[in-house]
Chain A
Amino acid sequence: MPVRLTQSWDRTIAGQKSSETPKSLCYTPLNSPGLWTFRVHEASIALSILDTACTYVGNGSLKSIRLAVGELSAVEPELLRFAWEAVTQGSCHQGSSLEIDWCPARQFCSNCGVEKDRIKAGWELYCDVCRRPLEIRGGRELDLLEISYIEEENSRP
């Protein structure tokens, strides 16, 4: 499959008003071998994270980002890490790490008021005790929790 810049990547950058574009986004990793990742949604998610984080760091460089990712969020941590490497490549944020707090979904019986882990291979339909249908709680997290960065004067070319 040929690797080439996709329209969606253009749009992601072009869709922002240039005056509002954080400095750190003003590069395009055209030659990045990981460009195909911009076709998966983890890439747009990585860009969203970068976008938000950049509004906090000013001229500094990111060191680490802590995220909460739920198992129902449709985000695969390893792909997200890979996408993060790609979107930060060549910038001052290159080498920063994503720390991901994985949030499993849990099963809840509203009748017994009991919440428990879901079974390994799947989901249980009914409560062991009262045989009523179980509900699902949590697991939808996709939150940017915390960033750490190095504040540096004149760090930018």
Chain B
Amino acid sequence: MRFEFALGLLLIGACDSEPQYLTASAGIEYDPAQQGGDPAPPPPAVSLTLPFALETTEDAMARGMLAAQLGVDVPYVVVDDLDVSLEWTAKNLDAEPAQVRIFVSGASPFFAYQPSLLVVDPDEDPTPPPLMGDVPIDLPANGTASGVFREDQVREASIDLELITRGNLNPFAATLVSHADLVSYQPMTPLDPDNPDVLPTPVGPPIPIAAFAQLVRFDVSVVADHHVVVEYAVRVRDRRGVMHDDGLAAPPGELTTFAPVVYDPLGAAP
């Protein structure tokens, strides 16, 4: 019995899910003195695209069959193929306490979500929220803080992105409500800002969770009231074996290239 217990401990260690760590190529430096005193300009973003291996013929055939069965587009990487978390470290470069906000948006294989581009009238409309973040973080003078967007938060962000882009759900409604238990949704027509009284109507068949697109690109940006630098890294547990073993160092020819369209609610749905 003692031997079996020890062997069990050993196997637990040996069968760990082999997380892959991907560090963004550069830190995000934000200095309000160089932003003209405007606290909310479109901040610079540093993107990190997850390195996926080329899709195998078997995977492509299975995906095609599922798409034909469901009657909807099925992306190469869907929610629950991966467990992803994003860890950040913020450093205050000034000798005074600072407050920093980190914004995380990104892209699925189909769409990229850029909240600032959804503002029709900057004088009237608030900027839609990012998929994650926008929480004030206090930094002591010359101090450092770290945090993480957990796996469940990134999963929720993937579902929110799916609902916003393919479902045409209002970004505020999508991000303020938890969809952890969502198993399908009905895509709707986008709301026409010129005719806000016309309610959206269902379009196409319902999309089940097996076709929910996973966040495959992270766009991280920063706003702060003092000079700060933010670095981040993404941790991926690959349940399906679709990530490239060499990570970000993989040859470009061995990686799947996505071409997400910048989401425009008045543009065409896929």
Chains A and B are bound partners: no
Report B's interface with A, CB cutoff 8 A: none
